[in-house]
Amino acid sequence: MDNHTGIELVQASYRSTDISAGFGVHFGLPSSGSVEQSVFLSMGPATPGVIFEEQATTTSPLTAPIPNVRISQFMYDAPAADDGKEFISIKSYDHAPVDLSGFLIGDGIFQGEGEGMAQFPKGTIIKPGQELFLCQSGLIFKAIYGAVPDFEFPWFGTDRLYNDPDVPTLLDANWSTGTIRLGNGGDKLLLMDRYYRVVDFVPYLQNLTYREIVYRGSTARADGDGNSIQRISLSSNLTAAFHAAPVRRPLEQISISLVNRF
């Protein structure tokens, strides 16, 4: 029992693969207001007598509101090769600044499985009406879209050959085992808060059931034509909430001088 929040741990479960790998308990926290809630903690070595940072984190009260921050735009299929050109943006529709420290975003929706989840570093604040742009490569984003992104994903490879010293890097959330690469034939985007509650979930070109909720995905398409998929409403009907349109760029724009290099 947590004497501060009144939350009581009534049940915990292990996966056999975690036990064989020497990992400890991990549990999860569904939507605010549920009677029974659990917390997904990142897997880590089970060391008796040691309190890991994740285990020492104060749990949010059950009534803590989930901030109104949404996935607002994404590029899943850029012209020619996608390498380094994909991006995701999130926008705050909240009435007050939101502390994104520890929030996770990506397409790796199941812990310990493939695809990627990145994490916002401590001190990341999004203001009301602000849109943050998250990209595979800061250098390529600048060259293609003529603007400065807010963050680049943490992984190096074909999508990010070099570090952009002018663009902060997101953290690897150590939630899944891959990197964020959006499928051209359909995929999904998940934004979670630091307690692993769903803030926004957007499947596209497919329907999915996630955490016992059925989602009808966005049907908007931008198949290599230079358009991105953009949110046009806060409707829970994702078919109506998104459409394809020319890329909406960050406010800080620069001269496009390297576009022919990519």
Asked whether the beta carbons of 193 and 210 are under 8 A apart, the reply is no
Residues 207 and 141 in one domain: yes
Residues 113 and 1 in one domain: no
> Which pLDDT value is given to residue 64?
80
> Which pLDDT value is given to residue 138?
96
Residues 133 and 257 in one domain: yes
Residues 86 and 135 in one domain: yes
Residues 161 and 220 in one domain: yes
Is pTM beyond 0.85? Reply is no
Residues 198 and 136 in one domain: yes
Domain boundary (46, 63, 80) is at: 63
> Which pLDDT value is given to residue 252?
74
> Which pLDDT value is given to residue 187?
97
Residues 173 and 50 in one domain: no
Residues 159 and 224 in one domain: yes
Domain boundary (9, 40, 63) is at: 63
**Domain count for the chain:** 2
What are the per-10-residue average pLDDT scores of the chain (262 residues)? Answer: 46 45 45 44 52 47 83 96 95 97 96 94 96 96 95 92 93 94 97 96 97 97 97 97 97 59 46
Which domain, by its residues, includes 1? 1-63
Residues 165 and 203 in one domain: yes
> Which pLDDT value is given to residue 48?
56
Residues 93 and 57 in one domain: no
Q: Tokens 């501060």 identify what position?
A: 4
> Which pLDDT value is given to residue 50?
53
Residues 108 and 139 in one domain: yes
Residues 111 and 173 in one domain: yes
Domain boundary (29, 63, 97) is at: 63
